[in-house]
Amino acid sequence: MATPSNASYKLPKIGNEPNLHYKPDSPERIALVAELKAMEAAAPYYVPAFVNGKEVPASGPQSSQPMPHKHASTLATFSTSSPELTSEAIESALAAKSDWENMPFSDRAAIFLKAADLVSGKYRAKICAATMLGQGKNAWQAEIDAAAELADFLRFGAQQVEQLYTMQPPENAPGVWNRVEYRALEGFVFAVTPFNFTAIGGNLVAVPALVGNVVLWKPSPTATYASWLVFQILLEAGLPKNVIQFLPCPNGDDTIKLVDRAISHKYFAGLHFTGSTHVFKSLWKSIAQNMDKYLSYPRMVGETGGKNWQLVHPSADVRAAAIQAIRGAFEYQGQKCSALARLYVPRSLWEAKGGFQDILIEEINKIAQGPVDAFENFMGPVISQFSYDKCISYIEKAKAAGGEVIVGGTGDDSTGFYVKPTVIVTKDPRSVTMVEEIFGPVLTTYVYEDEDFEKTCTLIDTTTDYALTGCIFSTDRAATVKANNLLRNASGMFYINDKCTGAVVGQQPFGGARGSGTNDKAGSMSIFMRFVQARSIKETFLPPTEFLYPSNLA
């Protein structure tokens, strides 16, 4: 490990955080139920901005983060972080920069490793409960996100930086020592984070901070409380107070003003974004307009939307393919960027008695949907009224375009934002719900003729602007190879006989290409490369004392 200390340290062994399963009467179920009750009873919580080492008192109109499963209840309230507060946050982050980047890596790493242990231990139930109540996840979905994935990002992140720092030039000429130093960026990193994974919010700030950057964090308004808990955990783990500045803000004009202030600053050095494609593109355009203001070329890292696909070959294990389609499309109400949205099934398997269609309908009809604190519910609410309306309007558009709804197709937003798991069958493979991201539990299926397998691969490749995740179910190796080649650029994540969701840190580096993002692969060493400025250092032990070359001698 690179460190200015008088030793080369080794990190503790890193592995994936084992999942807890929350079976009835298990200690983890009992702890989580107690935490859910206590958290709800004490809500709403005021979440302050945290700037210049301290909490900013409430001011101006308050925004709220409702509980999506019963939207009359508020989990958290927060004030708007103004452009003036944003400027103060930038100055205090820049003032903290030198001490932070000069802290030995072993000490920076220790902070994030301790934070991981706090997430997976002392605060596991709390961070899961906040993700359930605030973002509408059931216990299992909260566990794999807020407990396991977050701890994994923090631990594997430390390991990946350790590996990055060992990347050194392989050759030294005689009398020369070549080194490469991985400096932090010259300025601050701006992290703008999404609602759907507590872990992603934590990772978007932890990645730049681990390699010595100072960070401004604008969390999603619909994940404000869980993001605040993550920030508190980082502070408890020993993160110096000004390394990350926390700036909650409602969406709309206030966010645009905050963002404008941050990306207009001379020392804006990088954007770490996850969210929708249109927001990332608009940020990129605004940043391009500001190019002459900056000291350096800002690093642009953005993981964005998807229209993820599952291709079923006639040789597939039909039940496995149907069950994984259900998990891929409807876990967390289809609100994973990786969620399955377009399904391609050969007619022979779709129409067979007891075949794909029958299994799909029969199994989806068994799905229990309701409040997140009723553990039997496989599905809960979508995140907001906006999202509910968007899902319903896409279902109506699909029907108007001739799509047939074979399951679901309705919703109920009277107490929570519940959209039923919906399957649409379309005869037009380029119809609107095959093309545009909905980000809800709406799956569109196209039934292809068995002999058109290759044509279907080309169709998948050319249907949307996105290329995030995709999967094939096939027991025919030649067909799998054919699809692998034809669909090489149709996704950044390709799964064979597995669903298109559920990437695990340390196992499947995550990211998509084309309109789905810059594909810098969260959960791998390559993401850290984006937030460092390498400096090559050459030291010559015995410099020449004559300018002439031997070849100049007579």
Ligand X SMILES: NC(=O)c1ccc[n+]([C@@H]2O[C@H](COP(=O)([O-])OP(=O)(O)OC[C@H]3O[C@@H](n4cnc5c(N)ncnc54)[C@H](O)[C@@H]3O)[C@@H](O)[C@H]2O)c1
- Which amino acids are annotated catalytic? 303, 337
Selected from 202, 305, 502, 509, the binder of ligand A1AUG by CB under 6 A is 502
User: Shortest CA distance to 69 belongs to which of 450, 401, 457, 333?
Assistant: 333
Q: Which residue is nearest to ligand X (CB)?
A: 275
Note whether 283 and 190 are within 8 A (CB): no
149-182: b or e for each residue (b if 16 or more CB lie within 10 Å)?
Answer: bbbbbbbbbbbbbbebbeeeeeeeeeeeeeebeb
Kindly state the smallest distance separating residue 150's Cβ from ligand X, in Å.
Answer: 14
Kindly state the smallest distance separating residue 306's Cβ from ligand A1AUG, in Å.
Answer: 8
Beta strands in 31-146 (DSSP E): 45-47, 50-51, 54-55, 62-67, 70-79
Which residues does 80 contact at the CB level (< 8 Å), separation at least 6? 60, 61, 63, 249, 250, 254
Q: Report the run of H or E that residue 280 belongs to, with start and end.
A: helix 277-289
For 127, 145, 285, 453, 510, the CA distances from 502, given in Å and listed in that order, are: 20, 10, 32, 26, 10
Which residues does 453 contact at the CB level (< 8 Å), separation at least 6? 313, 314, 346, 479, 482, 483
Selected from 66, 437, 440, 442, the binder of ligand X by CB under 6 A is 437
Site for ligand X in 314-353 (CB under 6 A): 337
Selected from 1, 214, 329, 337, the binder of ligand A1AUG by CB under 6 A is 337
Indicate the burial class of 474 (C-beta count within 10 angstroms; 0-12, 13-18, 19 or more): buried
Kindly state the smallest distance separating residue 157's Cβ from ligand X, in Å.
Answer: 16
Kindly state the smallest distance separating residue 191's Cβ from ligand X, in Å.
Answer: 9
Kindly state the smallest distance separating residue 18's Cβ from ligand A1AUG, in Å.
Answer: 17
Does 338 help bind ligand A1AUG (rule: CB under 6 A)? yes
- Which of ligand A1AUG, ligand X, none does 501 bind, CB closer than 5 to 8 A by kind? ligand A1AUG
Does 303 help bind ligand X (rule: CB under 6 A)? yes
Selected from 279, 472, 487, 527, the binder of ligand X by CB under 6 A is 279
Site for ligand A1AUG in 503-522 (CB under 6 A): 503, 510
User: Shortest CA distance to 112 belongs to which of 160, 151, 166?
Assistant: 151
Does 512 help bind ligand X (rule: CB under 6 A)? yes
Beta-carbon count within 10 A of 52 CB: 17
User: Shortest CA distance to 117 belongs to which of 289, 234, 243, 197?
Assistant: 234
Kindly state the smallest distance separating residue 414's Cβ from ligand A1AUG, in Å.
Answer: 28
Cα 9 to Cα 285: distance, rounded to the nearest angstrom? 43
Task: Please provide the distance, in angstroms rounded to a whole number, between the alpha carbons at the two ends of the chain.
Answer: 50
- Residue closer to ligand X by CB (options 155, 218) is 218
- Residue closer to ligand A1AUG by CB (options 3, 16) is 16
How many chain residues bind ligand X (CB under 6 A)? 32
- Which of ligand A1AUG, ligand X, none does 439 bind, CB closer than 5 to 8 A by kind? ligand X
Please give the structure tokens belonging to residue 225.
């409380």
- Which of ligand X, ligand A1AUG, none does 437 bind, CB closer than 5 to 8 A by kind? ligand X
Selected from 197, 225, 273, 388, the binder of ligand A1AUG by CB under 6 A is 197
- Residue closer to ligand A1AUG by CB (options 3, 508) is 508
- Residue closer to ligand X by CB (options 195, 294) is 195
Q: Which amino acid is at 321?
A: A
Selected from 517, 518, 521, 530, the binder of ligand X by CB under 6 A is 517
Which residues does 88 contact at the CB level (< 8 Å), separation at least 6? 51, 52
Binding site for ligand X (CB under 6 A): 192-197, 200, 218, 220-221, 251, 255-256, 259, 274-276, 279, 282-283, 303-306, 337, 437, 439, 468, 510, 512, 516-517
